Structure 1
Amino acid sequence: MDKVLGIFQIGPVQEFISRSRKTQDFWASSFLLSYLISKAIEKVIEIGGELIYPYTNTENLSSLLQNTCTPIVPNRFVVELDKDKAVEALQEAEKSVKRELSNIANTIKGSIKIYSIPNSTSYIDKIFQRQVERFFEIYWIIYPLDNNYANSYKKAEIIFSGRKSIRDFSQIDEPGFKCTLCGEREALSDKEKASREEIRESWSKLRKLHKYEFNEKEHLCAICTIKRLYPKSIKECNEFDIGAPSTATIAVSPFLERLIENYKNRNIEKEKIEDFLRGLNEIENILDEGIEGRLLKKIRKKINNDDILKELNIDGTYFLKDTYDNLSTDHPEIKDKAEKIKNILGEFYKKFKEPSKYFAVIQVDGDNIGEEIGNLTSIDEHRKFSNKILNFSQEVLNIEDNFLSKVIYFGGDEGVIFAPLRDLLNIIEFIHDLFFNIVSSNGKPTLSFGISIAHYSHALQKIIEESRESLKRAKKIDGKYSLGFSLLKRSGETVEVAIKYKFDHISTIDFMKKIKALYEKDEISKRWWKDLYDDRLSFIGRDQELFKDIFISEVKRYFLRRVDKGIDPKPILKDIENFIGVIPIYNGFDIFMGIMEIIEFIYREE
């Protein structure tokens, strides 16, 4: 029987995922897409399709999604189909996606009982129907398979790209006040042509129904409401694995880990933690404000079943003194209680370092994956390669056991991880090594990273956008296999650096870890590279052929001024000389200074 290739994709991915105010929104968007595509894959297989990408020879993808509770299924698939069943299979897959989405939307709509006037449910229904039915775009094509698989696949991808470029368009009228998250669609209300005051009234009722899920000034559309409430409707996963910790919780997680370890080692009295929790609960009761948070997996494992430590499942903001200053300003009646909590936190800070307020978003993406697939000569080779990619994705999830981190999404060769600064460099190295051990045995394909570092209170959409821009800058480097960093300072200044991950035998991450280790051991002043920067005019602008020699000479001079006299500086100076020797001449100074600033910032703020 004649065979064809089918390619199927759900979108728009970036638009759907990036419009996220909370980490929970970001995770829910990714998980929903993975869930919907897994249902489409199930339907295609049921009608006789044989999956090529993503491919697993051990378990079905829906089970994998449920077992990991992490968005691990990419938003597209490639399948081998019988010619006479191909159209039916992909049409049914599309119907399956729409049916599952409709069921989820109806469940969430049913939980929004904000109706205050007779027959008002009909307008809520209209908003949901209009926004949900028109939001997702589903594309698919079929293409004949011949004896030259590589050629068939390349042509199928060209046709699919052409299909995507012809986006389905329908004029959408979105009246009334817009969603405060996406800013594009009409905000939900229980009355057509509702006034702003009537919308506020509707959402006040909704906030009481779904306590702590919505901020005071949020009025969301159907799509953004689905993202926010979808985690509550997920039944297949362990409740502790659903969703994602807040950015503050991720930032302070090393502090929380130190707190737990000090408690277990009896360096902190049980009564101190009890006093902290008691005071916090009193404030919660007075303000009627939720304090519960989601903890990272590694923290949860350390807490285990300890009755006291289990009570530390609170949002990261409540481990920061600033939080209580802000609460006291807005609610003077809690000032005395807030001061007591601040005093307890102050004692913790003195014993084992105050918590960080910064965290990182890591974007990961394979380089030249399409080119690698294009060189495969058979479906079996493609399936084997797909299985490697899926195994890599699954192994990446072990990051959460080994490091403080949250894998928000990892489908195929691309993913997003949130991490505190302390573990950032180790996580990048861990993912890199996994990829080259599992996928890239001969050095091809490669992997690139985009990293944004920001304060936990910075707008999440902006941080995610910066991580993507960092990845784009990395991808512009010839040959790719690169790193892009973006450091967003509270002052508004942004430090941007793009650099190769590896120059022959020199690893940028390994070099960064060596410099950071000097700071950790207090073997050199953090001021040394700033001295060099202040004196830059004395050697910048020199003849390019002489520049590197002069630059290296100046680096050594300033380094030796600030290094601890008790250590042998030769090994690290050799590393610095080798590193400067391989970075580009035309912007080598800026790259070196940028890397130094990022290392020093990570050390200072971790």
Structure 2
Amino acid sequence: MAKYMVLFQTGPVQEFIQTARKTQDFWSGSFLLSFLNAKAIRAFGESDIIFPNTKSSKICEAAGIPFPWKGRLDPNSYVPSIPNRFFAVTTDHPKERLEKAANAVTDTWQEIAGQVRDEIERHLKNAPGKNGNTISKLFEKLEKNNVTSFRILDSDQWDEQIRNRAFETLYVWREYDAEKEEYIRAYQETEALMGARKSGRFFEALGDQKGYACSLCGLRMAINPRACKERSDLRDWWENAMRGKKRFPNRFRKGEHLCAVCAVKRLAPFFVFKTPKRMDVPSTSTMSAISFQRDIQPLTGRIDERQLFQFQTAIRDFRRKAVSSARRIKEPRGGRLPPFFRPFPRKWLLQIDGDWFFDSFYEHHERRIPTKEAYQAWKNLEKLCVREHKLRPPSKYFALLTADGDSMGEILSELRTQDAHRQLSNLLADFSVKKVRKVLEQERPGYILYWGGDEGVAILPLEDLFNALTDLRKLWHDEVEAELAELGVRKATLSAGVVIAHHQYPLRSAIRELYKTVEEAKETKFSGQSKDAWAVRILRRSGAPVLARSHWEYEEGFQPLVLLNAFQEVYRDGWLSPAWLSDLEAEKKAMADPPPQWGSKYEKEKWCEDAGEIFKHEADRLLRRHADVGKDTVKKERLQYLVDGIQQLNTVVSSFSHHNFQRHSDLCAIMDLANYVAKGGGR
């Protein structure tokens, strides 16, 4: 019997997801894309789907619920875990079913946008209108004159933005005879068809955009009433109508004016999907300071009753005054914490946004007076925690992590049977929906913004970076790589990219750097092997970004991340001074990389070998010189481990690309990374 192989894809992914000013924007874009593809899968028919596995997907179940969502849904219904494509094998001709899936994406998107628009206009009826009248009075006047189709927002502008180039659906199919044709070859040709379809797609130009650009995406014009002719009118309308009178509390920042697509991304989770407040996404500021909140929890169990009362009073006072000040300056009153904190007693949790932990927030000229009491309460709590109980102050930096399976397209093309393909789909679904969440959200206070199949994005506290990367790679090896090896396919490796950024660094720029970093991880080479690596880019507030990268593991089980975590611990324990790195840098001339224009290849190689030997001896000497171990046997053993580890690191880095002429730069970047993480960033 003839069968049909089908590939369906919804996009554009990068443009829709990466246009984000807040972590909530990134999550919302990921969720909407996952939800729309879940709708397409349901419209096509789940029984024939090979990838992704939808049987245990709560978002696929929720895709059958009419809008707006009501009641308490399973929290996993809000988890963006469905990739933007699906693969199916069916016995009937798929054309009509594919058209039905494509229509489901378009119709659902327009339904979501329509409900958001209705909610916006409902909330705006009491907004200030022209000559001091409210818009509701204008509605009353129009109703008396039997005008029932009046819209506050420019209808032509809204409809054109929502319908034109917001989403596109691509699909291909080919006939497949299981008795005469190999499954693997048929799949490869189906993928080739999709590649050809992408190359031949037609990009319809956006219509004439009149007005002022969206402050978030910059691609479309900001929505506004027809009466806004000047930029000052647009800003005044957004400030007074969209931000005023608690209409959309804390959903728009001062100075923002968004297009229809970005406004739907921002408001759909609350108006259409009714996301509970506990599902709000922690901000970059909250995630930067989250280790401080975690350190508070065990402290409450090791202080006496008098100190406990003093501590609880300080927390309650800070929380109360911060909420009161937030109300005055129209800032969010609460800050959502990652799922890690759900088991902890609420009385010890500072459920306020991370901005309130940083002095710079209070120094802004518009906040200095209204937040004076909150600032004093924060300084009292900080003194109690940092000076008296020796907790580390809140970090101002966070880590944004992405991981991506290496050469997954080629691995899929090596699966020889439909059952093997389905088994891979099951493995990836279990990995992304259950296992990754345990590592990143239950064992540490991270937050997953998106994770579907072999790729995802999460935000983490800086302190947990090395252990999180190590655990994630081990999880992939145990749950996916080892299982796929039994199917007879090539080694399925994983690469990860990380950016470390200040909590005020533009998120959109950080995301752009993040995807660039994971590609650089995949370019890491050692002894002819590429990919299967990690890369970390430090986005300093001043100075050029610094990139550190390495493979996960080398011969004899050497793992650079484990070494970096050991350095992080001893730096924080205080018995090894990071000054040894400064002294090493002072001897740079003897160990630095050869100038690009200097000498022949042989001379450069000889230079690198000599410099490597000098580094070996100097690193040993300086580490022992700057370590305060005394007669402590444990510290002596730990120091010897660090010395041996540095020598192994020197060996493997020197072998990057056979002869690495940037050996010294790579070594310094990797070693500086541990110090940077240990001190909580640039502070």
The TM-score range, normalised by the shorter chain, is over 0.9
Partner of 2:642: 572
Partner of 2:455: 414
Larger radius of gyration: 2
CA contact (8 A) 1:284 1:290 kept: yes
Match of 1:586 among 637, 652, 661: 661
- 1:318-371 Cα shifts (integer Å, max 9, x gaps): 1223322226x6443553553344333333332322100100000100001111
SS at match of 1:142: strand
- CA-CA distance at 1:508 after TM superposition: 1.9
Distance in 2, Cα, partners of 1:231 & 1:405: 21
SS at match of 2:499: strand
SS at match of 1:245: coil
Partner of 1:519: 571
Partner of 1:291: 333
- 1:461-491 Cα shifts (integer Å, max 9, x gaps): 1111111111111112242001111101122
Match of 1:130 among 160, 163, 168: 160
Supply the RMSD in Å over aligned alpha carbons: 2.2
Match of 2:621 among 557, 561, 566: 557
Distance in 1, Cα, partners of 2:460 & 2:16: 22
Matched letter for residue 470 of structure 1: T
Distance in 1, Cα, partners of 2:467 & 2:210: 49
Partner of 2:66: none
- CA-CA distance at 1:67 after TM superposition: 4.7
2:215 pairs with 1:180:
yes
Distance in 1, Cα, partners of 2:449 & 2:194: 28
Q: Kindly, what percent of the aligned residue pairs are identical?
A: 29
CA contact (8 A) 2:322 2:352 kept: no
CA contact (8 A) 1:451 1:486 kept: yes
2:224 pairs with 1:154:
no
Distance in 1, Cα, partners of 2:62 & 2:465: 27
| Correspondence 1:465-476 to 2 at 5 A | 465-476=512-523
Distance in 1, Cα, partners of 2:13 & 2:610: 49
- 1:502-529 Cα shifts (integer Å, max 9, x gaps): 2232112112112222213323111112
Matched letter for residue 571 of structure 2: Y
Distance 1:302 1:60, change over 3 A: closer
- 1:179-238 Cα shifts (integer Å, max 9, x gaps): 011111010101166322332233121113102110110000011101111220354765
- CA-CA distance at 1:418 after TM superposition: 0.1
Distance in 1, Cα, partners of 2:374 & 2:643: 52
Distance 1:45 1:519, change over 3 A: same
- 1:245-268 Cα shifts (integer Å, max 9, x gaps): 000000101111223333455544
- 1:142-183 Cα shifts (integer Å, max 9, x gaps): 112233111111111111011112233222222111101111
Partner of 1:141: 172
Distance in 2, Cα, partners of 1:587 & 1:166: 42
Distance in 2, Cα, partners of 1:283 & 1:57: 47
Distance in 2, Cα, partners of 1:592 & 1:411: 34
2:99 pairs with 1:91:
yes
Distance 1:430 1:337, change over 3 A: closer
Moved more, 516-525 or 285-294: 285-294
Match of 1:440 among 463, 477, 481: 481
Distance in 2, Cα, partners of 1:25 & 1:407: 13
Distance 1:333 1:29, change over 3 A: closer
2:304 pairs with 1:262:
no
CA contact (8 A) 1:57 1:387 kept: no
- CA-CA distance at 1:586 after TM superposition: 2.4
CA contact (8 A) 2:329 2:367 kept: no
CA contact (8 A) 2:228 2:234 kept: no
Distance in 2, Cα, partners of 1:40 & 1:355: 44
Moved more, 474-483 or 544-553: 544-553
SS at match of 1:502: coil
SS at match of 1:92: helix
2:542 pairs with 1:491:
yes
CA contact (8 A) 2:217 2:262 kept: yes
- 1:12-58 Cα shifts (integer Å, max 9, x gaps): 10111111000000000001000110111111116xx5111112555
Distance in 2, Cα, partners of 1:193 & 1:333: 32
Distance in 2, Cα, partners of 1:285 & 1:486: 37
Partner of 2:469: 428
Unaligned runs of 5+ in 1: none
| Correspondence 1:133-532 to 2 at 5 A | 133-134=163-164, 135-146=166-177, 147-172=181-206, 173-191=208-226, 194-203=229-238, 204-208=240-244, 209-233=247-271, 235=273, 239-240=277-278, 242-263=279-300, 265-266=302-303, 267-268=307-308, 269=310, 270-303=312-345, 306=346, 308-309=347-348, 312-326=350-364, 330-332=367-369, 334-335=371-372, 338-350=375-387, 351=389, 352-394=391-433, 395-398=435-438, 399-441=440-482, 442=485, 444-478=491-525, 479-504=530-555, 505-532=557-584
CA contact (8 A) 2:48 2:90 kept: yes
- CA-CA distance at 1:446 after TM superposition: 0.2
Matched letter for residue 207 of structure 1: R
Partner of 1:30: 30
- 1:520-563 Cα shifts (integer Å, max 9, x gaps): 33231111122111211023346233332222122112222212
Matched letter for residue 474 of structure 2: D
Aligned length: 597
- CA-CA distance at 1:602 after TM superposition: 0.2
SS at match of 2:448: strand
- CA-CA distance at 1:59 after TM superposition: 5.6
Matched letter for residue 258 of structure 2: L
Distance 1:333 1:470, change over 3 A: closer
Distance 1:508 1:56, change over 3 A: farther
CA contact (8 A) 1:137 1:168 kept: no
Matched letter for residue 51 of structure 2: Y
Moved more, 503-512 or 355-364: 503-512
- CA-CA distance at 1:277 after TM superposition: 2.3
CA contact (8 A) 1:120 1:191 kept: no
Distance 1:518 1:348, change over 3 A: closer
SS at match of 1:121: coil
Q: Return the TM-score normalized by structure 2.
A: 0.83
